[in-house]
Amino acid sequence: MAEHILFVGTVHCDPDIDARLERMLDIERPDCVTMEYTPASEPHHLATRDRMLRLFKERKKREIPYDVAQYIRHQAEHVLHRPIEVLRKYCAGKEIPPQFIDHPGSYQMIEQAIPLPDDSTFIRNLILGNASVADIRSKTQKDYLHLHQLFLANEPEKTMQALERCRALFHIGSALRDVYPAAKILEAAQSTKGKLLYVTGAMHMLDDPRNETVFSMLKDRFPIRRQLLDEYDQDAT
């Protein structure tokens, strides 16, 4: 059985996620690495990357700030795979296999709920120059701050409201996504010696009174330490 189980929560589209993950791994040095990802989502990631590259090329015909243009390119070419590659590199150095444990049909669920248009809000703001890199970093930090407040308050009503907003966005019940990784983490914990790490979107780490998040499903099985990824910024200083 794993001696230590650590959940690290991320904000999706964090522009500094690769550096933050590397810092966290240097500090924590886990013996088993699991992540909210499935190879079945690869076509989704590739299609999104191709959309972003196409929009970048179209936008190059007009004038936009240099940093925004470079950020669009960086997102298109790297951001969809950066967290995965950082974890794979760490695991290769430790000679352990990374375990990608999201539900194999998770992206099909999301795509069926929300057909992603070529100009989704996030991409549109970048393409039209409505969001600078500083704006995106600022929003990311606000998201982390909101999550810190949720974790510290530990108020069931606020937790459920936050989860309901997230579920409404994707039109799917969170439990459909969370039952599968919870079972996989339990399986990995039973065969791991040392520290087990789970990297996931932070919403899956909330303590849902209805036991429909990964954390709430497993918290009574064994002690779990929860950290948000930006907390390692403080440890690095």
pLDDT in tens, 177-229: 799 999 999 999 999 999 999 999 899 999 999 999 999 999 999 999 999 99
Tokens representing 43?
A: 């076509």
DSSP per residue, 190-207: HT--SEEEEEEEGGGGS-
Q: Which domain holds residue 194?
A: 4-235
| Total domains in the fold of the chain | 1
pLDDT in tens, 141-156: 998 999 999 999 889 9
* Gap between the Cα atoms of 58 and 186, Å rounded: 47
| Structure tokens given for 116 | 């992603």
- Start-to-end CA span in the chain (Å): 33
